[in-house]
Every structure is written in C-alpha cells, then in structure tokens.
Amino acid sequence: MTVHRSFEEAEVAEVPELFGELDPSPRLLMGPGPVNLYPRVLRAMSVPIQGQFDPEFRRYMSQVMALYRQVFRTRNEQTMLIDGTARAGLEACMHSVIAPGDKVLVPIFGRFGHLKTEIAKRARAEVISLEVDWGTVFEPGQIEAALKQHKPRMVAICQGDTSTTMLQPLADIGALCRKHDAILFVDATASLVGNTFETDAWQIDMVATGLQKCLSGPPGVAPVTFNERVVDILKHRKHVEAGIKPPDLIEGNGPIIQSNYFDLAMIMDYWGPRALNHHTEAASMLYAARECARVVLEEGLDQGVARHVLTSEALRAGLQAMGLELYGDARHRMANVTGVIIPKAIKNGDKVRAEMLGDFGIEIGTSFGPLHGKVWRIGTMGYVCRKANVLRCLASFETVLRRNGFATTAGVGVDAAYKVYADAAH
C-alpha cells in the first residue's frame, strides 16, 4: 500500500539530520578580527539582491567606488571590491602586477609579511625578504638600502601586522619607491580606519584591505585601490576571455595574468564604463561594504582614528594597572589591537581565553609562530571600539586571571580605564 506523505514529511524523511536552526551564542569579538558588525551593515545584507547589469545596481557599484575613494583618501579612479577575504585583495594586486621573474621586495615584521612572500613566490617572482625582529618595525633607510641594492619592481608591505600588533610608518616609503622606480603595494587589512592612512599623500600605488577589522563588516570582500602607474602595467597584461571580448578591445603584449578570477585588468573593465562581464558580483557583500563605508565616513575618518586611539589607551592603562606587560615597541603600536604578554603565573594562556569565551562571551586572540603561548591579542576595532566594551573586557579579564593564579587587586584595571576617559573629557 502506498503511503502518501506531505512534501515536507518526505523531505524530512530523506534527510536524516537537519541540525538545529542557526542560533549562534552572542559574542563580543575582541580578538584581532573578525569583529562584531555594525547593525546597519547586517541590515544592509538582508535587502534584495539585483543582477550586476541592472542599471540600479551599477549605480550602487559606482557609489561603492566613490565611497572607498574617500575611505582610502585617494583620487584613484580604480577603486573597487575584490570578492573574497582580504587575501583575495592581496592575490589580485600581487598576481596582476608581478610577472614571472620580477623582483619583489617584502619587508617582513610579522606573519602577514610572510604571507606576501608566499603569494609573490606563487606569482613566480624573485622574492627578496627583509626581516626585523617581531615587535619592531623598519626604518626607511633599511628599505632604501634594499631598493638600491635589488631594484625590485614591487615593494609589498603591511601597514599594521596583526600578528605582532605593530604599525609600520609609511609616510616616507612611497617617495623612496618612486625614486627607485618600484610599485609600492600596502596591505592595510588590519589597520585601515583605525589608524591614519593616506594613499595619495604618501604616494602609495596600490592598497588592499578587508572589511572584518575596523570597517566592522563581514569577511568576504576586499576593497582595493590603485593608481595610473599600476594601470599602465595592467594594460600591457590585458587578455580577455574569448567569449566576452569586444571586437575593438586591444590586448596587451605582456605576459597573461595567471589567475582569471584575480585578473585586475579584466576586473577594471567589469567595474568601469565598459561593464565587461567577469564574475557574478557578490551583491550582499557589496551592500555590506557600501554600508561599512557610509558608517565610517559619517563618523569622519579623523574622528574614527581618535576613537581607536582613546579606546586602546584606556584598555592599555587598565591592563598595565593590573600588573600586565604589553608587547612590542611602544612607539609603533597599532591603535586597534593590543598585545599582552602572558604572565609567568599563568600556566595555560589558552585556558584563560576559553574561560573568557565560555564564562563571559568575550573572544580574545591567541598568537602565531614565535609568539604562540606567549602573547594574547585584544582587539578594539570598529563597532567594538567603545568604552562599555573596554570596561567589560577588563572586569572579566581580571576575574579570569585571578581565578587562574595571577595576583592583582580587584577593580584596578577598570578604575585606570575610567581615569583615561575622565582625563580625555577635560
């Protein structure tokens, strides 16, 4: 006998496990990123999507370009989104500029310098890596000496390396790269919006970033910008898929860019007036990126940086009052993430992090490579970067540390942070 079941029953019967409805526990994300989203950004992601050739959607694309020109402080026409996490932006920029055999200089002051070395190698560059001790940054003279000696086509460097919490001063590097005819590419993923960044004034040729740090958006889109020096290189490498190539398009005579997805020569034409088809735009991510920029620009770039500076000062005063030592060269700390040396009394740094998360719902970060087990990283970025969160974090951290054997006086951390806010108000 046939048993008639409803469509829904049949579906359930065929899928043994549907798991629960999505219901993630609320978390305060105070690690090195991702961080909590601006509520307006979450709302923007739920509006209906459109196709990338809908004239209305093309206007949103142009608005995104205009908004990110302001965020990057640039007049570069070529300012757009690469679909993918921040490293998608790095790959697009590096693979599109570097031709096999080109020399690329990578000054490394943490994990993300090593990442750029690895991407440059995959692009078949001849890579010259310069290293300084983790916790420090480069002097311009060290970079100039390497420019003179190696004459690279590109210098690829981080502004802020989250792995060490250090901020590389960049104001002088652009002029040096111009003098020695190198393209300066900056990875501003971790630092943009929390620290001053000047694309044009610092003569930076190419920049890539992500949404998930001080822009307080979801990971998944990488804003990039680049100038005419880069466009000239890309023109020589322009090759367009046969199926979409317009008859009047002139291809370059340089080597083809190895990745189709990350081919900036094609992506430029997709975003530009030609509107040449490439990928299907990640529409919800574009809405998110648009809203992130609107929130940040409404606050004002300088005001946003000042908020990050004040918040990290309050956090750092609190941590130090508790008897903790901060990591890295104090003159070059990022304003949005703080390294804390794990004190000797704490036998297991990961247990402290687990208790912060499990008991207080606060995520703080671990460290990589040589710093693993030695340093925690606490982020104060974007939407998270505010007084209430600093006070919550300090109060919870103090409790967890005391329960794990670290001797400190109850309330000193929170009081020290309050004092920073009180002093700033006068």
**Site residues (vs ligand PLP, CB under 6 A):** 33, 85-87, 112, 158, 161-162, 187, 189-190, 210, 219
Q: Which residue number, 112 or 360, has a Cβ lying nearer to ligand PLP?
A: 112
The strand pair at 160-161 and 166-167 is best described as antiparallel
Q: Rounded to the nearest whole angstrom, what is the least distance from the CB of residue 24 to ligand PLP in the complex?
A: 19
Neighbours of 239 (CB within 10 A): 17
Q: What are phi and psi of 303, to 5 degrees?
A: -65, -40
Q: Which residue number, 68 or 112, has a Cβ lying nearer to ligand PLP?
A: 112
Q: Rounded to the nearest whole angstrom, what is the least distance from the CB of residue 387 to ligand PLP in the complex?
A: 25
Angle ∠(148,154,155) on CA atoms, nearest 5: 75
Q: How far apart are CA 156 and CA 128, in angstroms?
A: 10
Q: Which residue number, 80 or 414, has a Cβ lying nearer to ligand PLP?
A: 80
Name every residue whose Cβ is closer than 8 Å to that of residue 107 and which is 6 or more positions away in sequence.
Answer: 113, 129, 130, 131, 132, 138, 142, 143, 146, 155, 157, 168
Q: Rounded to the nearest whole angstrom, what is the least distance from the CB of residue 130 to ligand PLP in the complex?
A: 17
Q: Which residue number, 96 or 396, has a Cβ lying nearer to ligand PLP?
A: 96
Q: Which residue number, 31 or 318, has a Cβ lying nearer to ligand PLP?
A: 31
Check: CB of residue 329 under 8 Å from CB of residue 381. no
Q: Rounded to the nearest whole angstrom, what is the least distance from the CB of residue 77 to ligand PLP in the complex?
A: 25
Q: Rounded to the nearest whole angstrom, what is the least distance from the CB of residue 128 to ligand PLP in the complex?
A: 20
Q: Which residue number, 189 or 199, has a Cβ lying nearer to ligand PLP?
A: 189
Q: Rounded to the nearest whole angstrom, what is the least distance from the CB of residue 209 to ligand PLP in the complex?
A: 9
Q: Rounded to the nearest whole angstrom, what is the least distance from the CB of residue 33 to ligand PLP in the complex?
A: 5
Q: Tokens 């806010």 appear where?
A: 421
Q: What are phi and psi of 92, to 5 degrees?
A: -60, -45
Q: Which residue number, 188 or 417, has a Cβ lying nearer to ligand PLP?
A: 188
Q: Which residue number, 219 or 343, has a Cβ lying nearer to ligand PLP?
A: 219
Q: What are phi and psi of 157, to 5 degrees?
A: -145, 150
> Residue 257 burial (CB < 10 Å; 0-12/13-18/19+)?
buried
Q: Rounded to the nearest whole angstrom, what is the least distance from the CB of residue 283 to ligand PLP in the complex?
A: 20
The residue type found at 346 is: I
Q: Rounded to the nearest whole angstrom, what is the least distance from the CB of residue 193 to ligand PLP in the complex?
A: 13
Q: Which residue number, 85 or 196, has a Cβ lying nearer to ligand PLP?
A: 85
Q: Which residue number, 83 or 161, has a Cβ lying nearer to ligand PLP?
A: 161
Q: Rounded to the nearest whole angstrom, what is the least distance from the CB of residue 110 to ligand PLP in the complex?
A: 8
Q: How far apart are CA 130 and CA 397, in angstroms?
A: 37
